[in-house]
Structures are given as C-alpha cells and as structure tokens.
Amino acid sequence: MPIISFCNQKGGCGKTVGAVHLASWLHRKRKKIHFVDADPQSSGATWMSLLSSQIPTSKITDANELIERLPELAEQFQFVVVDGAPNTTESTRAILCLSDVSVTPIQPTGLDLHSASEAIRLIKSAQKITGGRPIAAVFLSRASKGTRLKEEALSLLSQIPDVKLLKTVIHNKQAIADCFTQQCSIFEMKKAEDSAQEFEQLCKEILGLLK
C-alpha cells in the first residue's frame, strides 16, 4: 500500500513534524501503518517511541536497505510514512523512487524558497527513472499569518509545473514545537485546536492525492 515520504534536503523545514503528524493522524483513523525514519539523526523514531500510539517504527538509513525494505513494508501495512534526511544522497533518491507521494515542506524564507528548486529537481529525476512516481506535493510550513513573505511564497510555489501546492498552510506555533517534549502530537495538545485542524486538513489533502 502507499508509501508517503517527507523529503527536502533543506534542514529544519518540517519533515519530521509533518511525517510524525501524518502517521499519528492515520493511526487515529485506525489505519495499519509503519513509520520509517531515514534520517541518521533519528529524531522521528525517537519522537515515535515517546508517543502512546506505539506505531511500529524502523530506522533505515542505508540506500540498499531502503530499496529492499520499503516495498516489503508497503505489502504488510496500509500506509508507510517515511521521514527523510536533509540530504540528496542515494538514500533520499531511493526513497523518492519508491514513494507514491512525496511531500516537501517549505518555509517561507528567501533561502528556503531558493533551495526548493533543488528538492523539486530531485523529485523530477525520480519521476524520470520510474516513469511517473512519485506524485509531488509541496506545502508551506512554519508560516506567519499576515506576512508578505507568506503570500509571495504561496504565489511562487503555485507556479511550479507538475507539483501540487497543497492548500493547507502550517503556521508557526509554539505548541507544535512543544509536542516533542510533551511526548505527544498536536492532536493531544490542549489549547492547540487551530494547529490540530491545520494538520488534519494537511493529512486529508495528502491522502486525497492518492485518489
């Protein structure tokens, strides 16, 4: 069943936050899922181990192992969610070639937008190799409401050919940053309904890409 990965060679853009929340949301929907942490920093796997949901998790960083294990896991589980590393190595390329959907979080800063083209190039090269996969989606991550940079970033990202700009914007919120130390996801955080709603919408949009 589908492999959905969060990749972007730019560090700190929200890959782990996105992957952990998609996994948590799918788990709450009673889907049988597996979480793969492909980043040697292991922050995704550590976070998963702190959650009460006990979602099966593997740490796989080696390209050959990813090539072997991801299709096996996809056969065993309804969804495989992959948290990518901030690099453009063989492992990231392997993940992209094997993914059904690749989600790229992008922060609305000049530097992040500048490096987005490299992330998209990597996805397009995977699509050339596989003959179409993965479906490519980007979303604006850690945005601030009412800023010009946010609107400019959305306009820029909407113009990338063959890449779906997700309508949901994940805004910068302290509650999101606090989730790891609180050993939970935003769905269990108190007084964070607005951010929980954003993640719910984001997850629905990502799943909608598979239809």
Ligand X SMILES: Nc1ncnc2c1ncn2[C@@H]1O[C@H](COP(=O)(O)OP(=O)(O)OP(=O)(O)O)[C@@H](O)[C@H]1O
Query: Which residues contact ligand X by CB under 6 A?
Result: 11-17, 39, 41, 43, 86, 141-142, 170, 172-173, 176-177
Q: Which CB atom, from 42 or from 78, has the smaller least distance to Mg ion?
A: 42
In the block, which residue shows the tokens 């993965």? 134
Give me the least distance between CB of 170 and ligand X, in Å please. Answer: 5
Contact of residue 11 among ligand X, Mg ion, none (CB under 5-8 Å per partner type): ligand X
Contact of residue 13 among Mg ion, ligand X, none (CB under 5-8 Å per partner type): ligand X
Give me the least distance between CB of 54 and Mg ion, in Å please. Answer: 21
Give me the least distance between CB of 211 and ligand X, in Å please. Answer: 26
In the block, which residue shows the tokens 């069943």? 1
**Interactions with Mg ion, residue window 59-118 (CB under 5 A):** none
CA distance 63 to 91: 4
**Interactions with Mg ion, residue window 2-61 (CB under 5 A):** 15-16
Give me the least distance between CB of 17 and Mg ion, in Å please. Answer: 8
List CB contacts of 106: < 8 A, sequence separation 6 or more.
8, 10, 13, 112, 113, 116, 119, 138, 139, 140, 141, 153, 157
CA distance 134 to 112: 22
Contact of residue 17 among Mg ion, ligand X, none (CB under 5-8 Å per partner type): ligand X
Q: Which amino acid is at 117?
A: S
Give me the least distance between CB of 207 and Mg ion, in Å please. Answer: 21
DSSP designation for 29: T
Contact of residue 176 among Mg ion, ligand X, none (CB under 5-8 Å per partner type): ligand X
Nearest position to Mg ion, beta carbon:
16
Nearest CA to 23 among 139, 66, 15?
A: 15
Instruction: Please spell the DSSP secondary structure of 35-67, one letter per residue.
Output: EEE--TT-HHHHHHHHSTT---EEE---HHHHH
Which spans of this chain sit near Mg ion (rule: CB under 5 A)? 15-16
